[in-house]
Amino acid sequence: MPITDLLERNNKLYGDEVALVEINPEIREEQRVTWKEYELIQPTSPSFYRRQITWAVFDEKANRVANMLLEQGISRGQKCAVLMMNCLEWLPIYFGILKAGAVAVPLNFRFTSDEIDYCLKLADVDVLFYGPEFIGRIEDIAGHLKKNTLLYFVGDSCPSYAQDYYRQVSNSSSCAPRILIEDTDDAAIYFSSGTTGFPKAILLKHLALSQSARMEAKHHQTTKQDNFLCIPPLYHTGAKMHWFGSLYTGSRAVILKGNSPKSILQSVSNEGCTIVWLLVPWAQDILAALDRGELKIEDFHLSQWRLMHIGAQPVPPSLIKRWLEYFPNHKYDTNYGLSESTGPGCVHLGLENVHKVGAIGVPGFGWKAKIVDEKDQPVVPGEVGELCVKGPGVMVEYYNDPAATAETLKEGWLHTGDMARQDEDGFIFLVDRKKDVIISGGENLYPVQIEAFLAANSKIHDVAVIGLPDKRLGEIPAAIIQVKEGSDLTEEEVNQFCVDLPRYKRPRKIIFANVIRNATGKIDKPKLREIYCGERLVEKQNQS
């Protein structure tokens, strides 16, 4: 079933029920509205603390977007990009693109002008929807855009070179367009995180999107009564595909524009959220705020909150242990996935397996997994190799990049680039990214293992381990440590804490600094290497 069929079904079955709520905690207190006034808010007004739309309005808005594109001559398979911050307009535009038979191309809102230009060209984009936050970046590249590229501005005070989205879409029909969409049709192009250079364009079909919706609902036992709090950026497969569980069950979701500990707990409390997907740093921030007494659980209504799950990166077991001390009734799940596998879930821990926290889990619904050596031969349990996955969510290809596609897709198996091992019970443990492995004195060191060990220190808020160049050993492990607010930590204390690590795994250099993470919560190790390896090289040159 194409993913658009689920939206149309929800309109028919639950049309008058709320589908999406947007919360903007940055709006001043006096601009907030009372419960009785919520229904009076115009769905397109950006200046309120809370907005909402029903399934009927959601579907109608998507239809208008689709018909607007069709009226402009956009045909099946053409590419339409979305460059917007999370907002109530985001998903109707996305589904409108799909309903027109076009291919949706979400763009990372952190992309620079050069990266936006690169991605638009790589994906052969014909239409770009963008918000007011990106005016400067689009003006920088306007002269480089493909001829006749349609620009739709989603905001107030539309620039002269773009079309006013609100005006144009309001003049289009709200009837469902007569476009037949099949499971095998191309649906979306997502971009890799770009942590190894410029992003790759990942082409997915409708079958992959709809399968991820079914899988999400199954993995997290989502029902019509659930309410999902969506915090991560919607351009990313993680946020979108977790929300697909709400789409699959016709349940409500809340889009939160912000990720402070207070705004998260307030939204869960005020909106009655039952499922929350967090990134590791956000969970760390909530725990730190609770530890310091800045927030108190008893000040919020949280009894309905049944599930907290984490994805996008390795999860330190110590973090979940601490989380369950504050929230003992929570179910927990770890989600592993890539944009190349249509987001999270190709491997997941499972709600019943909290005793295995630290593992990314077992193959998800409809998926297979294996761990192979450099010759693509399966390794024995306990040995480290590259994780490969196979299932209905595997990408079609890296768009316009046959060489990278051939390197990554082999006989239907997606080579993830992640090093992993499997225990005797069949649970998979992520060891590290293949490109992040540190080779020190001939020994392979896996930073994730060292990071998990250090994360158990009660004074450490966040930690990243990278390799620094060394004349004698080739590389040495260095720990960038972000100390908890209000705590003091010395290099001597860190070294003493590490005495239980094998000597060759102990960090040879301690750097006290903030840990840089990207928009999806992953540690930005290329950036850290750029900063600290460069410093190390200068230091070495000065010594020689």
Q: Where are the domains of the chain?
A: 3-258, 307-433, 437-543
Task: Please enumerate in sequence order all residues whose Cβ is within 8 A of that of 514, keeping only pairs 6 or more positions apart, or say none.
Answer: 462, 482
> Which tokens sit at 286?
């909530």
d(CA 428, CA 363): 9
* Mean per-residue pLDDT, 350-379: 93
29 has a pLDDT exceeding 60: no
472 has a pLDDT exceeding 90: no
Under DSSP, is residue 260 helix (H, G, I), strand (E, B) or coil? coil
Distances (CA, A) of 318 to 3, 289, 309, 358: 38, 17, 15, 9
* DSSP secondary structure code for residue 120 in this structure: H
Confirm whether 3-258 and 307-433 share one CATH topology. no
Contact between 482 and 513 under an 8 Å Cβ cutoff? The reply is yes
Q: Give the pLDDT confidence of 318-361 residue by residue, as tens digits.
A: 889 999 999 999 999 999 998 999 988 999 999 999 999 989 99
Question: What is the value of pTM for the model shown?
Answer: 0.82
Domain 307-433: which topology?
Luciferase; domain 3 (2.30.38)
> Which tokens sit at 295?
């927030």
Higher pLDDT: 254 or 526? It is: 254
Element containing residue 65 per DSSP (H, E): helix 55-71
| CATH top-level class of 3-258 | alpha beta
d(CA 287, CA 279): 13
Q: What's phi and psi for 152, nearest 5 deg?
A: -115, 120
> Which tokens sit at 499?
């005495």
Query: How is domain 437-543 classified at the architecture level of CATH?
Result: 2-Layer Sandwich (3.30)
d(CA 230, CA 29): 22
d(CA 331, CA 137): 42
Confidence of residue 541 (pLDDT cuts 50, 70, 90): very low
Give pLDDT, residue 544: 33
Q: Give the pLDDT confidence of 168-190 residue by residue, as tens digits.
A: 999 999 999 999 999 999 999 99
